[in-house]
Amino acid sequence: MLTKRIIACLDVRDGRVVKGIQFVDIIDAGDPAELAHRHAAAGADEIVLLDITATHEGRGTLIDTVKRTASELFVPFTVGGGIRSAKDAALVFDAGADKVSINSSAIARPELIGEIGGSFGAQAVIVAIDARRAAGAADPVGEAEVFVSGGRKATGLRVIEWAREAEQRGAGEILLTSMDTDGMRNGFDCELTARVSAAVQIPVIASGGAGSAAHFAEVFGRGRADAALAASIFHFGVTDSRELKAELQRAGIPVRLPC
Amino acid sequence: MIAVIDYKAGNLTSVVKALRYLGAETQVTQDPEIVRQAAKVVLPGVGHFQSTQLLTDLGITEAVREGVAKGVWFLGVCVGLQWLFEGSTEAPGTAGLGHFAGVCERFPAEYESAELKSPHVGWNSLEQIRSDSKLLQGVEPGGFVYYTHSWRAPLVSATASVTNYGGAFTGVVERENVMGVQFHPEKSSAVGLRVLKNFVEL
């Protein structure tokens, strides 16, 4: 049976893992390569490294960090941040990434999705969407809006429509981050995740708000997520993936155990 | 020496990295002569079946056909497994090796009246493991491996293990010296490394 994936996310700035609270406050959480290996050993199904400074400061992705992290890492490894062209993506794949995650650059030039997919396969392209509910709208979830540049810029695009377009253009997965719940540890935005998951046929990774095993169970159940991503919950020893999975298994969620 | 065929498959680097981690001597090559002389051959793969057309264009298909006929150990990964069959509906104009009968087909959009997401991405279990499989020695039924694909190979007499997603499909195929895995052993943690180690130690 296909299991629900637990993905450990490393937000990296200047070669260090950091974690923001609602995209702003930054706390130093360690070395990316070391943490990636620790997460994999602790049962994470997948590792994502997001260079959170790349877009707005115009820096390239941290190829050396990617190389160091990918070395002897035998679980899927995704890299995002600052990938603006198929050539940028190629550098990241050469450094050892299995997938790239693109966000602002896909909004700026949606053809990029097909360009990377054409060369490396659809399975290698994750389109990341930073979403905020449309407060005050008749349907705040259905009208949720896409934001870019680390959540600083509204695009006017609706999340559900953009997810559908990304799929049509050849994305292999959608990484959906709720800016409303991110960093709060109060749970994922299950309504939004379920709406996006129902709107597309490709897998949806839920992100933003993980604080407990119950939150994961919720987003895999009512949120219809195929995978869920978290960063801070793992970094500070709240729990590890194996512990989390054991709890999910008790809740009837299929997970990779033993791992 | 293991010849790892370079036809620009996305996972070439990861496959080589895993084999070297296990102590194997590898040579990445596009040269049919080197493939002919190798004791073992690995064909990585991920992405579109169309990309395997290059194998025929480079003369590698013929070299593999000759090699496996005289007993060279062969392992195909993901699209590399699919290539061992006659072809795939993903690229009807591109022939596979035809070592195993049947054509690879896309996952259905629905299975048992429920929507079936595609690609099939994530960790799924190996079931009905054939006990005589050399590749799967030491792998327990129910062991998890990482998949990412939208096309799948049919069940054949050489199927050595199945995975269930929209029904059963061939997760591992093995007949004598010719083997293939639909999952990515290079990304399947301890179980994947065990499978590669079994191949390296043949």
pTM for the full predicted model: 0.95
What does the pLDDT average to over A112-125? 92
What is the domain-level CATH number for residue A228? Answer: 3.20.20.70
**If pLDDT is split at 50, 70 and 90, which confidence band does A55 have?**
low
Kindly state whether residue A69 falls inside one of the protein's structural domains.
yes
Residue A255 is assigned to a structural domain of this protein: no
What residue numbers bound the domain in which A69 lies? 5-250
- The alpha-carbon gap from B45 to the nearest alpha carbon of chain A, in Å, equals 10
List A8's β-bridge partners, or say none: A47, A230
> Is A93 a domain residue?
yes
- Closest-CA residue of B relative to A203 is B117
Is the Cβ–Cβ distance between B177 and B71 less than 8 Å? yes
**pLDDT for the residue numbered A240:** 83
Residue A258 lies in a domain: no
Question: What's the total number of domains in chain A?
Answer: 1
pLDDT (0 to 100) of residue A238? 59
Domain range for B156: 2-200
**The tokens 């919950």 sit on which residue?**
A233
Distance of CA B2 to the CA centre of its chain: 15
Which chain B residues contact residue A172 at CB under 8 A? Answer: 119, 121, 148
The answer to whether residue B118 neighbours chain A at the CB level (below 8 Å) is yes
Concatenate the DSSP letters of all residues of A38-99 into one string. HHHHTT-SEEEEEETTHHHHTPPP-HHHHHHHHTT--S-EEEESS--SHHHHHHHHHTT-SE
Q: How far is CA A158 from CA A114, A126, A146, A149, A169, in A?
A: 20, 18, 6, 16, 16
Distance from CA of A39 to the nearest CA of B (A): 12
Q: How many domains does chain B have?
A: 1
List, for residues A3-26, the tens digit of each pLDDT value: 999 999 998 888 888 865 555 556
pLDDT exceeds cutoff 80 at A233: no
pLDDT band at B119 (very low <50, low <70, confident <90, very high): very high
**B chain contacts of residue A93, beta-carbon cutoff 8 Å:** 10, 13
% of chain A surpassing 90 pLDDT: 72
pLDDT of residue A158: 98
- What does the pLDDT average to over A203-217? 95
The domain that holds B21 is classified in CATH as 3.40.50.880
Most confident of A52-61, A226-235, B96-105: B96-105
A254 touches chain B (CB under 8 A): no
